Amino acid sequence: MSPAIINLLLVIPFLVMAYFLSQGKGAFLIAGYNTMSKKEKAKYDELALCKFMSKVLYGISFSMVLLSLSEWLEMPILMWIGIAFMTGLIVFTLVYSNTGNRFRNS
């Protein structure tokens, strides 16, 4: 039971970061973007990037909740669903964000 509680406590910072990103703030939390020069940052649509990353963090939070429920309810299928969802989400995020110049300013 206690690992489930610890997992749920780990969800809280993810939800807080997702909230800030969904408001268009917190771009400094995005690795790679925060190290760019101002000239390079001007090439990207910061609001769209923040909103996309907030959705990713909400998805990761959901999968972490599934992992916690798996532990708490002793249902291993929830763990596998959570792992599959998180893995799929990460692969989708990597492909979507690195192809098609989706977050570039026009």
Per-residue pLDDT tens for 49-82? 999 999 999 999 999 999 999 999 999 999 999 9
Q: What b-and-e string marks burial along 60-75, b requiring 16 or more CB atoms within 10 Å of the CB?
A: bbbbbbbbbbbbeeee
Per-residue pLDDT tens for 14-58? 999 999 999 998 888 888 888 989 999 899 999 999 999 999 999
Separate counts of helices (H) and strands (E) for the chain: 4, 0
pTM: predicted TM-score of the whole model, two decimal places: 0.88
For residues 29, 32, 35, 36, the Cα torsion angle rounded to the nearest 10 degrees is -120
Q: Which residue is listed with tokens 């990460």?
A: 90
DSSP helix/strand/coil, 102: coil
The larger pLDDT score, comparing residue 89 to residue 31, is at 89
For the chain, domain boundaries:
3-98
